Amino acid sequence: MVRKLQLEDLERIKNEAEGNEEASELEGLYDLIIPPGTPSYIVYDLVEEFELEPLQRRIKVNIVECDERELIVLRGTLEVVQAAEKFLHEELTAWVNSDN
């Protein structure tokens, strides 16, 4: 039996094609996930110093229960994200070890 082409089929094909365009735009970009509770001044410093794009993503976080949360991510190229990750680690270490 021959199946007729439906409007839903065309919409699905269009959405899949648009999804491929989005994937090609993201190629070569990486996200640095900012841990919940990170001081805002550190996030601002990361964005300004490394010129990363701040975004929100829904990510599953397993603290007590596995919940999905909106977290801040900073998007950029691999080299920049790796340098920002090192900076983030150093800043968080200094913040935790401070007397404040």
22 confidence band (pLDDT: 50, 70, 90): low
Q: What is this structure's pTM?
A: 0.67
Q: Are 75 and 27 in contact (CB under 8 A)?
A: no
- Dist. CA 87–CA 38, nearest whole Å: 13
The set of residues, in sequence order, having a beta carbon less than 8 Å from that of 51 and lying 6+ positions away, is: 76, 80
* pLDDT 10s digits, 33-79: 998 889 999 999 999 999 999 998 888 777 777 778 888 999 999 99
List strand residue ranges (DSSP E) for 1-100, in order. Answer: 29-33, 53-62, 66-77
User: In 10 A of CB 84, how many CB atoms?
Assistant: 22
3-state class of 5 per DSSP?
coil
